[in-house]
């Protein structure tokens, strides 16, 4: 019989508060590790919804573009001239935001470059976003540096090929020294009058490559350029006659590479930048396609000098040819171009119409197959995204943003399926983000006008008119020491805010008192005010209440 108070035997374990098998130090380490499990570990514990989120971003170029085959085929029929070594016509592409202009142009360009490599036809395509690179200097500098980089890469490849040729020449000479006879089975007979060709004897053609037995005589009428060489000679079917010529070519290529000078982003005269760009383009024989996205932004900021220079380059180029593809959201931007630029630039025009809801649905279904894991979408998600985007002039970019944002919201809530509610939340979030970005980038005078409207609405004023806005606007300008614009100019700023969708301004008739604009906000008031007050100048306004009261006094 065992005694409950007896000591435990050697093989028995004693119950304690400590985990079995761990010392106090080890247990402390485990507790520290457990306490470190938190922020990101919890977020990573859920199953991801996305398979490849990048497919839903505007920067992604798909392998197939639904409902754009007509426009793509038209571009291809124009640009195929480049594969024949000819200069393609310049192309202007029009269409509203999100109609597939850039994606289609990039798709065709990628196909053009891959096909040119397949047929060994030199063709380069360069893409410039003129919303970012919006001055003549920046455009030319960026293009110059890109072509300098391409030229350097081609020089490196060519030098590597020539060095391999020299190695093959060395191996050939080593083999020739060991086995000097080319054909021991059939020895040609020559009479005493047969001599070595004078051309061969006088040149250093094989000075570096001859073996002692290589001076086998050949008839004069068989001596013709590289026909003198045995079939296995490395210089056969090359433009070089000797090792020295190969080495000289390598030296010249390396000297060319050293002569290239990268253009700084500021500091040079524009004509010097153009000269470097011109020389870089004309260094090799090739067809160059320059794609200028948001080309209207370049014209708006810098005029049409850049387009004039680019469109006139072909008359001066000797080795290469240049073609331009311009992409614009503004169908009327060519109205502001010089007639000479307009005629040369707009040789071919392609218009991209907006997508309808069914086409947007096809695009989303096509992308979602790659973007999401199987079963991640409920049936009503894609039709709802397509319907929301179709309301805004058939914007595929908006539809993709909606679907991606809905997926991100679902993933953050750690749900396994994206549902209709996630799409509606994404719609609200995108709209708010758009408003915040638009308001944040407004000029100071427009911010003051908008701030005046917000102050009036916050104090219960409805059907705000232009005169009331102007009175508050003047006091705000005085507070931050800003110039006061005329009431007519303030009316124009209100119209601009209306075009941006920030306010709603409707002209109403007051009978014999004339007409006036009734103004109301179209955006969330608190979020918009917070963005305005984040501006350092507007944040200096301490107390805005007196200005609103002053409105009633006036």
Residue 180 lies in a domain: no
What are the distances in angstroms from CA 80 to CA 87, 101, 309? 9, 19, 24
**Positive or negative, the Cα torsion across 187, 190, 196, 199?**
negative
Residue 404 lies in a domain: yes
Assess whether 461 and 507 both reside in one domain: yes
Assess whether 320 and 378 both reside in one domain: no
Give the N- to C-terminal CA distance of the chain in Å, as an integer.
Answer: 106
Taking only the tens place, the pLDDT of each residue in 11-22 is 444 444 444 555
CATH of the domain at 365: 1.10.8.60
Assess whether 79 and 103 both reside in one domain: yes
pLDDT score recorded for residue 46: 67
Instruction: Work out the burial of residue 544: count CB atoms within 10 Å of its CB; fewer than 13 is exposed, 13-18 middle, 19 or more buried.
Output: buried
Whether the Cβ atoms of residue 532 and residue 439 lie closer than 8 Å to each other: yes
How many domains are contained in the chain? 3
What are the distances in angstroms from CA 82 to CA 75, 77, 86, 120, 123? 12, 10, 5, 12, 7
Assess whether 451 and 528 both reside in one domain: yes
Assess whether 73 and 126 both reside in one domain: yes
pLDDT score recorded for residue 182: 44
Residue positions forming the annotated binding site for ATP: 99-103, 355, 367
Assess whether 268 and 403 both reside in one domain: no
Assess whether 145 and 95 both reside in one domain: yes
pLDDT score recorded for residue 202: 39
What are the distances in angstroms from CA 514 to CA 507, 508, 509, 510, 517? 10, 9, 6, 5, 11
Beta-carbon contacts of 202 under 8 Å, excluding residues fewer than 6 positions away, are none
Give pLDDT < 50 ranges for the chain: 1-19, 180-186, 188-226, 229, 231, 546-554
Residue 230 lies in a domain: no
CATH of the domain at 129: 3.40.50.300
pLDDT score recorded for residue 37: 59
Nearest-Å Rg of the Cα atoms of the chain is 37
Assess whether 489 and 340 both reside in one domain: no
Residue 542 lies in a domain: no
Residue 522 lies in a domain: yes
Assess whether 516 and 474 both reside in one domain: yes
Residue 518 lies in a domain: yes
Phi, psi of 321 (to 5 degrees): -135, 145
Beta-carbon contacts of 30 under 8 Å, excluding residues fewer than 6 positions away, are 22
Could you tell me the pTM of the whole model?
Answer: 0.68
CATH of the domain at 508: 1.10.10.10
What is the C-alpha separation between 391 and 386, in angstroms, rounded?
Answer: 9
Q: Given 436, 467, 491, which residue is the final one in a domain? A: 436
Beta-carbon contacts of 374 under 8 Å, excluding residues fewer than 6 positions away, are none
Residue positions forming the annotated binding site: 99-103, 355, 367
Residue 509 lies in a domain: yes
What are the distances in angstroms from CA 28 to CA 70, 78, 104, 412? 68, 72, 60, 32
Task: List b or e across 465-489, with b for residues whose CB sees 16 or more CB atoms inside 10 angstroms.
Answer: bbebbbbbbbbbbebeebebbeeee
pLDDT score recorded for residue 236: 83
Residue 7 lies in a domain: no
Assess whether 430 and 507 both reside in one domain: no
Assess whether 122 and 270 both reside in one domain: yes
Determine how many CB atoms are found less than 10 A away from the CB of residue 230.
12
Domain range for 477 is: 443-534
Assess whether 426 and 369 both reside in one domain: yes
């Amino acid at each position: 019989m065992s005694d409950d108070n007896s000591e435990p035997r050697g093989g028995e374990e004693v119950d304690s508060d400590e985990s079995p098998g761990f010392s106090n130090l080890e247990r402390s380490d485990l507790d520290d590790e457990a306490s470190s499990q938190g922020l990101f570990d919890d977020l990573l514990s859920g199953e991801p919804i996305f398979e490849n989120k990048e497919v839903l971003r505007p920067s992604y170029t798909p392998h197939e573009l639904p409902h754009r085959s007509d426009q793509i085929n038209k571009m291809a029929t124009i640009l195929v001239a480049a594969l024949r070594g000819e200069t393609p016509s310049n192309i202007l592409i029009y269409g509203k935001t999100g109609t597939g202009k850039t994606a289609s142009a990039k798709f065709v360009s990628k196909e053009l470059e891959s096909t040119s490599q397949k047929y060994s036809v030199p063709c380069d395509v360069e893409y410039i976003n003129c919303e970012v690179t919006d001055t003549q200097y920046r455009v030319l500098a960026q293009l110059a540096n890109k072509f300098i980089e391409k030229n350097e890469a081609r020089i490196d490849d060519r030098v590597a090929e020539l060095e391999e040729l020299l190695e093959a020449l060395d191996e050939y000479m080593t083999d020739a020294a060991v086995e000097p006879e080319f054909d021991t089975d059939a020895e040609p007979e020559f009479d005493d009058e047969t001599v070595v060709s004078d051309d061969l004897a006088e040149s250093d053609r094989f000075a570096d490559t001859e073996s002692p037995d290589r001076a086998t005589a050949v008839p004069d009428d068989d001596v013709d350029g590289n026909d003198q060489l045995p079939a296995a000679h490395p210089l056969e079917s090359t433009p070089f006659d000797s090792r020295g010529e190969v080495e000289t070519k390598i030296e010249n290529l390396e000297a060319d590479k050293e002569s290239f000078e990268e253009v700084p982003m500021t500091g040079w005269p524009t004509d010097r930048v153009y000269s470097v760009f011109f020389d870089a383009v004309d260094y090799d024989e090739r067809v160059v396609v320059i794609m200028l996205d948001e080309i209207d932004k370049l014209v708006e900021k810098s005029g049409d000098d850049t387009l004039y220079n680019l469109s006139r380059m072909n008359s001066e180029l000797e080795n290469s040819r240049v073609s331009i593809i311009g992409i614009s959201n503004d169908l009327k931007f060519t109205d502001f171009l010089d007639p000479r630029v307009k005629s040369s630039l707009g040789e071919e025009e392609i218009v991209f119409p907006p997508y309808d809801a069914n086409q947007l649905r096809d695009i989303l279904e096509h992308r979602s197959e790659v973007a999401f894991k199987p079963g991640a979408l409920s049936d009503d998600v894609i039709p709802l995204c397509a319907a929301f985007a179709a309301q805004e002039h058939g914007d595929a970019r908006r539809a993709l943003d909606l679907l991606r944002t809905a997926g991100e919201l679902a993933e953050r809530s750690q749900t396994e399926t994206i549902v209709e509610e996630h799409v509606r939340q994404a719609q609200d979030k995108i709209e708010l983000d758009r408003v915040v970005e638009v308001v944040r980038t407004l000029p100071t005078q427009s911010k003051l006008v908008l701030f005046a409207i917000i102050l009036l609405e916050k104090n219960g004023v409805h059907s705000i008119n232009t005169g009331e806005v102007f009175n508050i606007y003047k006091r705000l300008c005085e507070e931050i020491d800003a110039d006061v614009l005329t009431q007519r100019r303030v009316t124009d700023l209100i119209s601009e805010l209306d075009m941006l969708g920030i306010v709603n301004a409707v002209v109403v008739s007051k009978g014999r008192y004339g007409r006036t604009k009734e103004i109301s906000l179209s955006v969330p008031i608190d979020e918009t005010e917070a963005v305005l007050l984040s501006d350092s100048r507007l944040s200096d306004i301490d107390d805005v209440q007196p200005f609103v009261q002053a409105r009633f006094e006036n």
